[in-house]
Structure 1
Amino acid sequence: MQAPEKNRSFTQLIEFEIEPHQQLALVSALAAQTERLAQHHPGFLNASIQASDDGRRVLNYLQWQSREAGEAAFQGFESGEQDFWQLIRAHQAKTVTFGSFQVLHSLERSHDNALHCNLVGLARA
C-alpha cells in the first residue's frame, strides 16, 4: 500500500534504551538537538520526545514534509553536524533503534475541539 508521493510526510522514530539516571539528561539533550534541526533543516514539521515511566527508554519522534527532508537532516547527524553519535555515547545508550515511516493517516484535535482526520490517498503496490 502506497500513498501518492506528493502527499507523503515522513516520520523518523529513534528509540533509546538507557539507564534510568540518564533519562532526564538525554531528554534535555534531544530537546536542544531537535530545536537545532527545526531551525536549520527545511521541511521540518514537528517533533516530540517521550520518556517511559520506568526511566529506561526515550522515544524521539521527528516528522518531515518529505522523505528527502528527513534523510538530509539525518545525513547531518551522521556527518557530525549535530553530534548525534556523541549524544549516544554521552548518555550511555545500551541500544538505539531507528525507524522510518510514511504517514498515511493522522487524527488531531483542533483548538475549537473538533477532530480532523487526514487520510492520505492510498494506492495498492
Structure 2
Amino acid sequence: MQLSANNRGFTQLIEFEIEPHRQPALVMALSLQTERLARDFSGFLSASIQASDDGRRVLNYLQWQTREAGEAAFRSFERGEQDFWGLIRAHQAKTVTFGSFQVLHSLALGPDDALHCNLVG
C-alpha cells in the first residue's frame, strides 16, 4: 500500500548555538517546551535534546506523525502561544537554525533484538 506524502513521519530539527555555560538552562527550557508540545498537539511521536561535546550547540529533535501535526506546533511559535522567541532571547542564542524533513526510511531495534526497517513510500 502506497502512503501519501501527508501520511509520512515528519521531523523538525532546531539547532541553537550558545555559550557553553548557558547549555544546562537551555536544555531544561527545551525539555519543558517539548513536554508542552507533546501535551498540547496531537501527532507528537518523540523528541530528543542533544548537546555537542564542546557545549556550544544544542539540538532539539521533534518527530511528528504527519507534516500537518509538526507545522501546527510550529505555528504556535509564530503566534506566540509557545514563548519560543523569549526562550531564544533568554538563553542568548547566537544563531538558531531550523530544518524539517520528511521521513522516508527508518531503522529500529525491535523487542526481539532484531533490526527492523521501515520503508515509507
Q: TM-score range by the shorter chain?
A: over 0.9
* Counterpart Cα distance in 1 of 2:93 and 2:111: 37
Shift of 1:6: 4.8
* Counterpart Cα distance in 2 of 1:87 and 1:109: 35
Identity of aligned residues (%): 79
Point out 4+ residue stretches in structure 1 off by more than 6 angstroms. none
Shift of 1:5: 1.9
1:47 aligns with 2:47: yes
* Counterpart Cα distance in 1 of 2:110 and 2:17: 33
Note the residue ranges of structure 1 that are not aligned, 5 or more in a row. none
Q: What is the TM-score with the length of structure 2 in the denominator? A: 0.94
The CA RMSD over aligned residues, in Å, is 1.1
Check whether the contact 2:6–2:68 (CA below 8 A) recurs between aligned residues.
Answer: no
Partner residue, 1:27: 27
Shift of 1:77: 1.1
Q: What is the TM-score with the length of structure 1 in the denominator? A: 0.91
* Counterpart Cα distance in 2 of 1:74 and 1:6: 16
List aligned pairs for 1:97-112, cutoff 5 A. Answer: 97-112=97-112
Note the residue ranges of structure 2 that are not aligned, 5 or more in a row. none
**Letter of the 1:107 counterpart:** L
* Counterpart Cα distance in 1 of 2:52 and 2:85: 22
1:8 aligns with 2:8: yes
* Counterpart Cα distance in 1 of 2:77 and 2:15: 15
Partner residue, 2:37: 37
Deviation readout 1:75-120 (Å, 9 max, x if unpaired):
1011111100000000000000000100001001123311111011
Matched positions, count: 119
Secondary structure in structure 2 of the residue aligned to 1:15: strand
Secondary structure in structure 2 of the residue aligned to 1:74: helix
